[in-house]
Amino acid sequence: MKQGWEIKKLGEVCEIQGGSTPKRTESLYWDGGTYPWFTIEDIREQGRIITDTKQKVTKVAWDKLRVFPKDTVLLCCTASIGEYAITHIPLTSNQQFNGLMIKDKSYLNPMYLMHYCATLKDKLAMLSGKATIDFVPAEKVRQITIPIPPIEEQERIVAELDCLSGIIERKREQLRELDALAQSIFYQMFGDPITNEKGWEAEELQKVSTLLNGRAYKQNELLDSGRYKVLRVGNFFTNSNYYYSDLELEDDKYCDNGDLLFAWSASFGAFIWNGGKVIYHYHIWKVLYDKQKLNIDYYRFLLNTMTAYFMKDVHGIGMVHLTKAGMEQYVLPIPPLALQQEFADKIEAIEKQKELIKKSISETENLFNARMDYYFN
């Protein structure tokens, strides 16, 4: 152990309590509510620092619920297990989260505790009962140990980690700005594709495209290792978390670098695949298109721009989906190919900038993770 550091159980340094959800059928708890009630949605929208909540409860509910004070670290112990945040406002929470309320802030820095919680996902998964979904009771959370350096050292560690995470977030914001720029260029050049305000030639999707379904594999066909990766809905944004399969690729449906794909269930949208030859799931279409009329970058942006419009025709309950027959009937604006290529050239320049930023993010994340490992492992 580093000199001057101590090992404590979380229950020794924090009061740990769970949140709860007021009855949804009781309007007295919800209608016109102004008091913050925290859920996983707030992390997805705000990040790790919580300054407001999407959902609100009434004073009646607030008085009945446990209120977590400012600087409480919120740790998810079921469902999205291991997610965490820190609140900068008093709030209540649903039952997915335990509030870690520090007993003595002169001994334990709240931001230091929050950064430490980033290391707990695997540990919580091991502690969970896993009956139907992961669940770690508060008593087990209290037994988790935390390395605690002197408070001055905690503050220095927090400053270093905050600096690195701030760099990463600023670069991610640059990526978002470049994505917004690309979308803006699309609208400037082609107008609204729903109304086809610029009067381009238009054709039904089925006249210029063929949609090929992937394979509806069974769960017992998926292996921890094997010959081929299987691309699933939901993992195409990160090119990670694949399953592997021993299925014969020659006898199956696969995609390869440069293929245009469209996810039509659970997640929705078009993307160009560049992760090598893989078997792709039934909930993804491989889009074969007329290259004499459509440029792949224009077509990808067109489909993604129109996805919200497609969604008005989704089917099913729970996991909604688009149908191939319905998709094929949509009318697409088809500008001159030369103009589409001009757009693609602009997108290529933007993508090159994004790749440089992504490389910088990866390098900074590696440094951040190395420092986390040094301090906490």
User: C-alpha angle 74/142/149, rounded to 5°?
Assistant: 80
- The Cα 54–Cα 329 span in angstroms is 37
Residue 218 identity (one-letter amino acid): K
Q: What is the pLDDT of residue 240?
A: 41
The helix (run of H) or strand (run of E) holding residue 284 is strand 284-289
Give 342's pLDDT tier (boundaries 50, 70, 90).
very high
Which helix (H) or strand (E) segment is 177 a member of?
helix 151-190
Please report which confidence band the pLDDT of residue 177 belongs to, taking 50, 70 and 90 as the band edges.
very high
- pLDDT over threshold 60, residue 241: no
**Local confidence band at 186 (pLDDT 50, 70, 90 cut-offs):** very high
Per-residue pLDDT tens over the stretch 67-86 = 999 999 999 998 889 999 99
pLDDT tens-digit series, residues 304-329: 999 999 998 888 876 789 999 999 99
pLDDT value at residue 300 = 97
Going through 94-222 in order, the beta strands assigned E by DSSP cover 97-102, 145-148, 202-204, 209-213
On whether the 151-198+335-377 domain is CATH 3.80.30, my answer is no
Instruction: Tell me where in the chain the CATH 1.10.287 domain(s) lie.
Output: 151-198+335-377
Q: Position 72: which residue type? A: T
With tokens 């000199």, the residue in question is 3
Domain at 6-149, CATH homologous superfamily: DNA methylase specificity domains (3.90.220.20)
d(CA 353, CA 8): 46
CB 81 within 8 A of CB 121: yes
pLDDT band at 237 (very low <50, low <70, confident <90, very high): very low
What number of CA atoms fall less than 13 Å from residue 236's CA on the CB side?
28
> Where are the CATH 3.90.220.20 domain residues in the chain?
6-149, 201-334
Look up the CATH architecture of domain 201-334: Alpha-Beta Complex (3.90)
For 99-136, the pLDDT digits (tens) are 999 999 999 999 999 999 999 999 998 888 655 557 89
**Residue 129: what pLDDT?**
65
Q: What is the per-residue pLDDT across 257-302, written as a single tens digit (0 to 9) for each? A: 999 999 998 789 999 998 888 888 888 999 999 999 999 999 999 9
Per-residue pLDDT of 13-24, as tens digits, reads 999 999 999 999
Q: Tell me what pLDDT residue 100 has.
A: 98
Report yes or no on whether pTM surpasses 0.75: yes
Start-to-end CA distance of the chain, whole Å, equals 10
